[in-house]
Each structure stands twice: as structure tokens, then as C-alpha cells.
Amino acid sequence: MGGYAIFVWPSYALAALVLWLNWYLPRKQHEKELRQLRRRHKAE
Amino acid sequence: MFLWFHKLGSPPHFYRIAGKWIPWLSWIFLVLLLAGLYGGLIEAPPDYQQGESYRIIFVHVPAAWMSLFIYVVMAFCGAVIIIWRMKLAEVVLISSASIGASFTFLALATGSLWGKPMWGTYWVWDARLTSELILLFLYLGIIGLHNAIDDKRVASRAVAILALVGVVNIPIIHYSVEWWHSLHQGATVTKFDKPSIHWSMLIPLLLMALAFQVYYVLALFQKCRVELLQRERNSKWVEEL
């Protein structure tokens, strides 16, 4: 990267982290919500 | 058209449609992202002045565009909430806020990483940078205000007003490089008649922008589905899931 790797790669790493978090966290949250709903239905 | 719009606005219908689209959007995003990264990191030549450091623009510029675009979507939703009190607009507005804040943070952080080797500093209180920072605070303000009010319908009206008031910052960000003397460079790509960027760099940049656009819809659908489940947990359609 012509001496600029220290700036370029952290930019891409940060972008990957931000994109991954915005994809992964709602996915996990959705699964959790569905689990809670099913548990509530069983209890009723 | 109105019937289609009305049907799309129904929470159970939107929940199902979004669920069906998520796998397709994931694949489209992945293909665009890989094509953009290949073009930007491998195919595009180094810049004659900035060398390899300019490759940061392939994430910085699409993130900055998305930060503006998402806020405009939120302001539009704000207007829909105030005029029609549409539930789905409330869900889209608040679900967009955290994605928009993420893109704004990414634009600021990658811009800062580009600024150090090019300007000699990570940060300057320049018109473009400062107005973009204000945009981040607006996003955070909207998230904070929504979380602070228990009644979600009241919270949605409050954030709708804030989103509408804050939209004045969008043209300020866009034109800041023309209105004030700025260290930040002027328009490069959006001069549609004659972009001052070579095609070998422009094409991967546009591919990355398209990938980020698809990603926004994908992330939005995922967040909206969670928000809908939380809001409608006592509805019949949620009980039937």
C-alpha cells in the first residue's frame, strides 16, 4: 500500500466491523424476540 | 398504486415481504461488494498525487453519501408520520437511525484516517467535517429521544419533528465545500457532466456505493422486523408466527 497501509487497512477493517455489527445484531435480536414469543405462547 | 402503498404499510405484510427479500438482498450486496472491492483494491491504479492512500475513498465516499441519504429517508418518514400517522413510517424512521449513525461514524473515521497522511492531521474544524459531525449528533439525538419516551407513538412523533428540523443540515453538508473555504475537496463524482475522476476509479466507487445502498435496505429490513415484533407483540399476527 505504498506506506499507507496503516491508514488504508484500518479504514476497511472499521467498515467491515460496522457492516457486520449492523447485520449480525438485529439478526440475533430477531431470533431472541421469536424465542421469547414462543415461550410466552407455551406458558399461556 | 394507493392500494399497493396501503398494503405495504400493513405491519404483517411488510414483515413477511421483508423476510422474503433478506436472503436475496444479502446475495446482491455480497456480489456488488466483492466487485467493488476487486475494482477498488486490485484493478484501479494508484492516484498520481495521493498514491495508494486514496483507496480509502472506496469506503469513505459511499459511507458519507449513505449518511446523507438515510437522513433524507428519515425526514421523509417524519413527514409521513406527522401527516398520516403511518405505523410503518415510525418503524422505518427509528430503524434507520442507528444505521445512519453507523454510516456517519464510518464516514468521519475513514475521512480522519485519510486526512492524516493527506492533510497532516486527523481532524480540522472545517465546515464539511463539522456539519457531518453535527449530523452524527442529530442521529444520536433521535435515538436518545426515542429511547427516553416510553409511549412509542408519542416518541415517534417527537423524533419525526426532530428529523424534519434536522434535515436543514443536509444541504449545508453538501454545499459546505462551495459556501465556505474548506480543506475538504469539492465535488468530484457528482459533477455528472464531467466527473473529475477516472473511470477506472469511478466504476468501483459506484459499485461500492450501490453495495452500501443495498446493504442499507438489507439492514433496515432486519431492524424493522425486530421493531415490528416488539411493537406488535400483542397482535394476532405476531401470536400466529
In angstroms, rounded to a whole number, what is the distance separating the alpha carbons of residues B57 and B191? Answer: 17
Q: Do residues B157 and B81 lie in contact, with contact meaning Cβ atoms separated by under 8 Å? A: yes
In angstroms, rounded to a whole number, what is the distance separating the alpha carbons of residues B239 and A38? Answer: 8
> At CA B174, angle to CA B173 and CA B177, rounded to 5?
85
Closest approach of A15 to chain B, Cα-based (Å): 7
pLDDT at B176: 86
Q: Do residues A9 and A1 lie in contact, with contact meaning Cβ atoms separated by under 8 Å? A: yes
> Is A27 close to B222, i.e. CB distance below 8 A?
yes
More confident residue, B133 or B236: B133
Q: How far is CA B159 from the centre of its chain?
A: 17
Closest approach of A7 to chain B, Cα-based (Å): 5
Q: Do residues B223 and B99 lie in contact, with contact meaning Cβ atoms separated by under 8 Å? A: yes
Confidence of residue B16 (pLDDT cuts 50, 70, 90): very high
Closest approach of B241 to chain A, Cα-based (Å): 8
Residue A31 forms contact with B (CB below 8 Å): no
Phi, psi for residue B47 in degrees, rounded to 5: -75, 145
Residue B213 forms contact with A (CB below 8 Å): no
Confidence of residue B103 (pLDDT cuts 50, 70, 90): very high
> Cell numbers 438489507 correspond to what residue?
B218
- The mean pLDDT value of chain A amounts to 91
Set of cell numbers at residue B199: 473511470
> Is B113 close to A23, i.e. CB distance below 8 A?
no
Q: Which residues pair with B47 in a beta bridge?
A: B51
What mean pLDDT comes out for the span B20-35? 97
User: Of the ranges B94-103, B187-196, B210-219, which one carries the lowest mean pLDDT score?
Assistant: B187-196
Residue B63 forms contact with A (CB below 8 Å): yes
> Cell numbers 424465542 correspond to what residue?
A35
In angstroms, rounded to a whole number, what is the distance separating the alpha carbons of residues B145 and B159? Answer: 7
In angstroms, rounded to a whole number, what is the distance separating the alpha carbons of residues B145 and B134? Answer: 16
Burial B85-121 (b: 16+ CB within 10 A, else e): ebbbbbbbbbbbbbbbbbbbbbbbbbbbbbbebbeee
Q: Which residues of A are less than 8 Å from B53 in CB distance?
A: 1-2, 4, 7-8
User: Of the ranges A15-24, B27-36, B102-111, B197-206, which one carries the lowest mean pLDDT score?
Assistant: B197-206
> Looking at the whole model, is its pTM more than 0.90?
yes
The C-alpha R_g of chain B, in whole angstroms, comes to 20
